A = this chain, B = another copy of it.
Amino acid sequence: MNMGLTRYSAAQGLPELRELIAEKLYRDNGIEASADEIVVTPGARNTLYLACAATLRPGDEVINFTPCYDGNISIIKIAEPQAIVHNVPLKGLDFVIDKQRIESLVNPKTKLIVINYPNNPTGRMLLDDEIEFIVRVVRDNELYLISDEIYEKITLSDKKHISPASFEDIREKIITVNGFSKAYAMTGWRIGYVHANKELTALMLKLNLQLNANTAAFIQKAAIAALTGSHTHLDEFIENLRARRKLYEELIASNVHLAGSYPEAGFFTFLDISSTGLSSDTFCTQLLEETGVAMLPGISNGPEFDTFCRISLANATEIISEGFEKLSDFVDGWVRHGR
């Protein structure tokens, strides 16, 4: 701000930041990106809107994997109310991709597939055969893939996130969405970015100019500081997440009425509460009122997941430990006494 970066700036984003993002995409993700294929926006939510609005027309079909980021379901509909969205549930508690169902759904009207790995809310990463499958589907069909990779840096093992756009021959068909909220704890700064081919970039840039003018230049400077600064803060955060995941494993192991996803990345896990017989919304409301513990109803992550709730591990370990105890007692109460 003191540098005077408080006036209108380029709608696409500061060249300096876009250069750094292009370098980052190459270095971290193996994506051959150039600065003119990137648009900086006020948050990754906004890039999802831009990507959907730039690609979808009335009657277009969308394949959206569920459970998904709660924003996806609404943002696709806001961008194109007349798109036909097929939510395809991931299978079992491993939340694996339902290849057969996707193959049966893809048709010439399919314009877009939307994925989010590492996944919010399950914490799952793509398996090798799943990546191969997605690459093949994108290669063999005339469609775009939105890959929301906002949790890529928060991996709880040595397994590395793989970006679909790193596959050279499908690169032009991938729209990679990312931001600074998760890896740099910059949720309230509201800055994200999107990488796509030049044609889509031009469309998204026009939309961004009309709706947002530009992202505040001084916030872009903060993003530059984040990209060029040390990343050691992540080590401690990930170490803490591992400890909290252990508490979660113990919760599942100690309570026969509970099951859930096993998170490999991100800071969420998806809990199966079907034993209680409650809808996810009722479960979360009751739990919050009776114990003060807050979770997100699974129905927000996909209409097929009303017997799930999302747990956030992004809180102090002792608070999580206390929350899990209350959660476990609450579930026992419901299963045994119907309240």
Contact = CB atoms under 8 A, between A and B. Distances in A.
Interface stretch (A15-23, A118-126, A183-191, A257-265): A183-191
A189 B213 CA distance: 11
A212 interface: yes
B219 A216 contact: yes
A188 B9 contact: yes
Contacts of A335: none
A43 B45 CA distance: 16
A231 B212 CA distance: 26
B42 A42 contact: yes
Contacts of A78: 53, 207, 210-211
A215 interface: yes
A319 interface: no
Interface string A1-22: 0000111110000000000000
A303 interface: no
Contacts of A216: 188-190, 216, 219
Number of identical protomers: 2
A217 interface: yes
Give the interface SS of chain A, mostly helix, strand, loop or mixed: helix
Contact of A211 (B5, B6, B46, B185): B46
A188 B210 contact: no
A268 to B, nearest CB: 15
A41 to B, nearest CB: 10
Contacts of A215: 190
24 contacts: A5-B188, A6-B186, A6-B189, A7-B187, A7-B188, A9-B188, A45-B210, A45-B211, A45-B212, A45-B213, A46-B212, A49-B211, A53-B78, A71-B210, A75-B210, A75-B211, A78-B207, A78-B210, A188-B214, A188-B216, A188-B218, A189-B216, A190-B212, A216-B219
Q: Which 4 A-B pairs have the closest CB atoms?
A: A7-B188, A6-B188, A74-B210, A42-B42
Interface of A: 5-9, 42-43, 45-46, 49, 53, 71, 74-75, 78, 185-190, 206-207, 210-219
Given A6-B189, A53-B78, A188-B216, 9 more contacts: A6-B186, A6-B188, A9-B188, A43-B213, A75-B211, A188-B214, A188-B217, A189-B216, A190-B212
